[in-house]
């Protein structure tokens, strides 16, 4: 029998996914092992969110096979309620768009729903939910309606609901997008804590500045919805030609007032930057 620790968390084998006729993932193969921290990089529309939804068993591949924890990850397999519960307990996704994720009448209901529904003890859920809301500084939003919050507040509620579940596999879709600096920094510290606990963390992000903090491995999509590179984070980020080719950094013109000279610099997507002149 295979040692449990050798069983990959996810095995995607030549997965293709299309929304009607719109290809979103093209022949994607990927193996994720327990304890890996992976950043998924790619331009808008390259397929990152679709990949996370396949890993979370919200979508099922049009072609190819997917396995999770050594078992087939198919619609049929998840018809079995016990298996579906076990899967949902182990894997948590924070959506890119919190509007899709949030549905409860109050923030408190939202944050406690998944862990209660998945059978965690009530006192444990209360403790975790309070802790998660404190970490993200949303305790004061407890009785508010999630759909009437600001974009960043919604994102924090969506994050807190997965924080309260504490799954073993974390799928984070642009977790820092729309978070203010203090919340971003607390989230990064929390990801650090998960790392020490040996959790598996897969993050789709445009924020190249945080990649080396949250990931050891980078899987890069190009605009053809296929994986173009998969390797160590440092090496992947130092291949500037590929980052430009895949629309992850861009060349950008400036005119400098003093000299009237024009330069081209390569910039990270949204990061604040300084130049040397």
Ligand X SMILES: Nc1ncnc2c1ncn2[C@@H]1O[C@H](COP(=O)(O)OP(=O)(O)OP(=O)(O)O)[C@@H](O)[C@H]1O
Positions that interact with ligand X (CB under 6 A): 19, 22, 24, 42, 44-50, 96
Cα radius of gyration rounded to whole Å, the chain = 20
Beta-sheet strands, E only, within the chain: 10-19, 22-32, 37-41, 63-68, 71-72, 91-94, 169-173, 200-204, 217-221, 227-232, 249-255, 262-268
Beta carbons of 219 and 201 less than 8 angstroms apart: no
Q: Which is nearer to ligand X, 61 or 125 (CB)?
A: 61
Contact 128, 164 (CB under 8 A): yes
CB of 85 vs Mg ion, minimal distance in Å? 27
Give contact residues for Mg ion (rule: CB under 5 A).
48-49, 96
Cβ at position 64, least distance to ligand X in Å: 16
Residue with tokens 């610099």: 265
Instruction: State residue 195 phi and psi, 5-degree precision.
Output: -60, -45
Residue 205 near which of Mg ion, ligand X, none (CB within 5-8 Å, type-dependent)? none
Q: Which does 44 bind (CB under 5 to 8 A by kind): Mg ion, ligand X, none?
A: ligand X
Q: Which of ligand X, Mg ion, none is residue 50 near (CB under 5 to 8 Å by kind)?
A: ligand X
Q: Which residue is nearest to Mg ion (CB)?
A: 49
Work out how close the CB of 19 gets to ligand X at its nearest, in angstroms, rounded to a whole number.
3
Rounded to a whole number of angstroms, the minimum distance from the CB of residue 70 to ligand X is 26
Task: Tell me the three state secondary structure of residue 209.
Answer: helix
Binding partner of residue 103 among ligand X, Mg ion, none, CB under 5 to 8 Å per kind?
A: none
CA distance 189 to 270: 21
The item of Mg ion, ligand X, none sharing an interface with residue 45, based on CB under 5 to 8 Å by kind, is ligand X
State the Cα–Cα distance between residues 262 and 107, nearest whole angstrom: 51
- Rank residues 142 and 217 by Cβ distance to ligand X and give the closer one: 217
Nearer to Mg ion, 48 or 225 (CB): 48
Q: Indicate the residue among 24 and 211 with the shorter CB distance to ligand X.
A: 24
Sheet containing strand 91-94, edge to edge, reads 91-94, 169-173, 200-204, 37-41, 217-221, 227-232
Decide which of ligand X, Mg ion, none touches 46; Cβ closer than 5 to 8 Å per partner kind: ligand X
Residue 16: CB minimum distance to ligand X, A: 12
Q: Supply the minimum distance, in Å, between the C-beta of residue 205 and Mg ion.
A: 10
Percent of residues in the chain assigned helix, strand, coil, to nearest 5: 40, 25, 35
The nearer residue to ligand X, 108 or 170, going by C-beta atoms, is 170
């Amino acid at each position: 029998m295979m040692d449990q620790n050798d069983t990959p968390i996810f095995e995607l084998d030549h997965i293709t996914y299309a929304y009607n006729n719109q290809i979103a993932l093209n022949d994607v193969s990927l193996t994720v092992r327990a304890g890996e921290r992976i950043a998924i990089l790619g331009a808008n529309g390259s397929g990152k969110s679709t990949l996370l939804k396949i890993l979370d068993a919200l979508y099922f591949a049009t072609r190819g096979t997917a396995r999770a924890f050594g078992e087939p990850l198919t619609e049929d397999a998840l018809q079995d309620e016990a298996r579906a519960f076990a899967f949902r307990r182990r894997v948590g996704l924070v959506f890119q768009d919190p509007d899709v994720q949030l549905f409860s009448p109050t923030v408190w209901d939202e944050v406690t729903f998944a862990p209660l529904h998945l059978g965690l003890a009530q006192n444990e859920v209360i403790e975790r939910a309070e802790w998660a809301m404190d970490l993200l500084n949303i305790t004061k939003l407890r009785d508010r309606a999630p759909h009437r919050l600001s974009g960043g507040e919604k994102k924090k509620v969506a994050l807190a609901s997965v924080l309260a579940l504490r799954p073993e596999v974390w799928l984070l879709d642009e977790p820092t997008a729309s978070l203010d600096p203090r919340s971003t920094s607390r989230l990064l510290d929390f990801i650090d804590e998960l790392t020490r606990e040996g959790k598996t963390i897969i993050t789709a992000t445009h924020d190249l500045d945080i990649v080396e903090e949250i990931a050891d491995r980078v899987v890069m999509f190009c605009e053809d919805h296929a994986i173009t590179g998969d390797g160590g984070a440092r090496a992947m980020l130092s291949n500037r030609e590929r980052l430009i080719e895949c629309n992850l950094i861009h060349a950008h013109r400036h005119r400098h007032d003093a000299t009237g000279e024009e330069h081209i610099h390569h910039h990270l997507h949204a990061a604040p930057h300084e130049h040397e002149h």
